[in-house]
Amino acid sequence: MATTRLMALHAGSGRSIAKALQDNVDYLENPLKTDDGELVTGYECDPRLADEQFMLSKREYITATGRSQDKHDVIAYHLRQSFKPGEVTPEEANRIGVELAMRFTKGRHAFIVATHIDKSHIHNHICFNSTTLDCKHKFRNFHFSAFAVRRISDLLCAENSLSVVQDPKPSPGKDYGEWLGDNRTPSAAELVRRGIDSALERKPATFEGFLALIEAAGFAVKRGAHVKFTAPGFTKGTRCDTLRGNYTEEAIRERIAGRRAAPAGRSVDATKKPGLLIDIQAKMREGKGAGYERWAKVHNLKQMAQTLIYLQEHGMDDYDALAEKTAAATARFNDLSDKMKSLDERLAANAALQKNIVNYSKTRAVYVEYRKAGYSKKFKELHEADILIHQTAKKAFDELGLKKIPTVASLRADYAPLLEEKRNTYREYTEARSEMRELLIAKSNVDRLLNITDSRPEREQTEQNL
């Protein structure tokens, strides 16, 4: 049994088409959701380069048709397929997702299928390029296209001996996790968290003692550079460091040593992070009423309590330690941000050079004929587009000072490791940004409580970082 949803992807305002594709592909291929990328399949594209390859096809489309693409156009389609918990394995779900995408697109569009296993219900995310493989046409969403997707999905479920949704009701945006409500089967990660809490309640003296307790509870433990737990009834393990919060190896060791305590009755993942305190006086000067003032005071009390919990959990009971850690987190984020910009520039330069080499090669014969014709105006009028493309490519080579034009194959070989480095850096970048935001909020709240006022430029910079 599977539910489906088809969504059109637009660039929207505030970001480029390339950025929109990158964000979508990064979400689909999240290694924490796809078993370190093992559950990602590509058709007519390398999953690691899918966003860039989609962009190259769009540039070819513009060259072939002369039609430009703006933020209102559909740049790709995102299809979600959610399975009933326990009916399929991740590998089966991925195979069915590939077949669904192939049948719906008739093999005319490049696509990637990413199977996510981070929820109790296994689900596929499918992204297919709106531009066809021959770069001459685009997929046009038709009437009842969502119905067609569901029918194909139902047929595939029947063919694979899975149950089929009977008398389906429209429920946009919902998946099996939401349908099942509070009675849904807990995910493997949630079972591991519960197992960790249960083992730690028995007060083991050492980390090895803790591992022995959790093994005795039925969890399989894989030791190594990263500790991995496999919950009873599951075949895929969960790496300790992906659980985050109070469940990383470092956090567990701190809990054993008594330097960290988990919130009673729930995991840290469910704990709210502190938010910025409201400047109530400033809001009152803007014309807010007495009701808003009462609400804001309660809000500030809650945020301050969350801030104190956050500081205790992270062992920051000293203001200087908080300030030092905040400065270090901000510096790390800025360094990673600069690295991301540098990698983006190198990737863009590589892609642009590939495009110019291809254009130069395609139009070289026409330009040779143009030169043999003595740069005839009549010949130029007949082949103006190709001549301009050739001249533009030649100008780009001259600006780069290239004495020998590299091959497209060598550039692609350089591109792949650069893109991989960018993806790895992006994961660090998002983690660093999250850590910096939490620390900046905590420090800002403490400063306000202690009546330590930042200068206006510093305050504006903090708000910008948040």
Please check whether residue 346 lies inside any domain of the structure: yes
Q: Give the pLDDT band of residue 154 (cuts 50, 70, 90).
A: confident
- Whether residue 143 sits in one domain with residue 58: yes
| pLDDT higher than 80, residue 165 | no
Q: Give the pLDDT band of residue 267 (cuts 50, 70, 90).
A: very low
Mean pLDDT, residues 207-227 taken together: 86
Please check whether residue 217 lies inside any domain of the structure: yes
Range of the domain at 200: 188-270
Please check whether residue 308 lies inside any domain of the structure: no
* CATH number, residue 58: 3.30.930.30
Residue after which a domain boundary falls, among 138, 163, 182: 182
- Whether residue 174 sits in one domain with residue 56: yes
- Whether residue 89 sits in one domain with residue 174: yes
Q: How large is the angle between the packed helices 408-449 and 456-465, nearest 10 degrees?
A: 130
Please check whether residue 290 lies inside any domain of the structure: no
Please check whether residue 348 lies inside any domain of the structure: yes
Helix H or strand E encompassing 452: none
**Contact by Cβ (8 Å): 98, 30:** no
- Whether residue 141 sits in one domain with residue 205: no
Predicted pLDDT of residue 453: 55
What does pTM read for this prediction? 0.42
Give the other-Cβ count within 10 Å of 464's Cβ. 7
- Whether residue 169 sits in one domain with residue 199: no
Please check whether residue 285 lies inside any domain of the structure: no
For the stretch 97-145, pLDDT in tens is 999 999 999 999 999 999 998 877 889 999 999 999 988 888 877 767 8
Strands 220-222 and 123-129: what pairing? unpaired
How many Å apart are CA 373 and CA 228, to the nearest integer? 70
- Whether residue 426 sits in one domain with residue 352: yes
- Whether residue 23 sits in one domain with residue 167: yes
What three-state secondary structure class fits 154?
Answer: helix
Please check whether residue 300 lies inside any domain of the structure: no
- Whether residue 369 sits in one domain with residue 239: no
| pLDDT higher than 80, residue 339 | yes
Residue after which a domain boundary falls, among 134, 153, 182: 182
| Nearest CA-CA partner of 22 in 33, 11, 32, 14 | 11
The number of distinct structural domains making up the chain is 3
Please check whether residue 213 lies inside any domain of the structure: yes
- Whether residue 252 sits in one domain with residue 144: no
Predicted pLDDT of residue 265: 43
Residue after which a domain boundary falls, among 130, 150, 182: 182
- Whether residue 80 sits in one domain with residue 14: yes
| pLDDT higher than 90, residue 465 | no
**Contact by Cβ (8 Å): 117, 239:** no
- Whether residue 338 sits in one domain with residue 411: yes
The helix, strand and coil proportions of the chain, stated in percent and rounded to the nearest 5, come to 60, 10, 30
Nearest 10 degrees: Cα torsion 65, 67, 71, 72: -100
- Whether residue 198 sits in one domain with residue 75: no
